Amino acid sequence: MGGHNFKLPLDVTIRTDLRPGDVGYVTYLHGKLYAVEYGWDYTFEAYVAGPLSEFAKSRNDREQIWIVEKDGIVAGSIAIVEASIDEAQLRWFLIHPDLRGRGIGKSLMVEAIEFCRESRYARVFLGTERGLTTAARIYASFGFQLTNENTHELWGTVVTEQRYELNL
């Protein structure tokens, strides 16, 4: 962690190394939680699985993932992926419902944005869905601006995808 003075709950740790099972578990959490919370189907899990697998195979020093564990079990994540020399993409931001509201998501955002600055990106962007209002409040609190919306059928329902950007 980047030396910030936030305090994690005692039973929660955050690590930056990928371990066997992490890719599958992060994919599983996205698939299960978004199905329950938003009614998205299995195609969303595939949407997560493909890029996450590629990330795991081809990481470089301008990319990073943070894995949240509670009692040794994966319970959340966030990652920074290199989109171009100037632009990073924030991906796979998810906290298990049992851990939400404890400051963990904000701690992850601090780490991710600091990493982007240290990696000399000019901008970081992310894609989300309009129904994820708590995440949107977090993004806004860090200075992200909504730059695009597109409503269409996806993941077994109608979604409004949003793009947020932060100039660094």
* 3-state class (DSSP) for residue 99: helix
Mean pLDDT per block of 10 residues along the chain (168 residues) reads: 53 93 96 93 94 93 96 95 97 94 92 97 95 89 95 88 96
Please tell me the predicted confidence (pLDDT) of residue 6.
Answer: 53
Question: How much of the chain is in helix, strand and coil states, percent to nearest 5?
Answer: 35, 35, 30
Task: Please report, to the nearest 10 degrees, the dihedral formed by the alpha carbons of residues 92, 12, 136, 158 taken in order.
Answer: 50
Domains of the chain: 12-123 (3.40.630.30)
Complete edge-to-edge strand list for the sheet that includes strand 145-154: 12-15, 64-70, 73-82, 87-95, 123-129, 157-167, 145-154
Please tell me the predicted confidence (pLDDT) of residue 7.
Answer: 60
Cα–Cα distance for residue pair 6/56, rounded to 1 Å: 28
Q: What is the pTM of this model?
A: 0.91
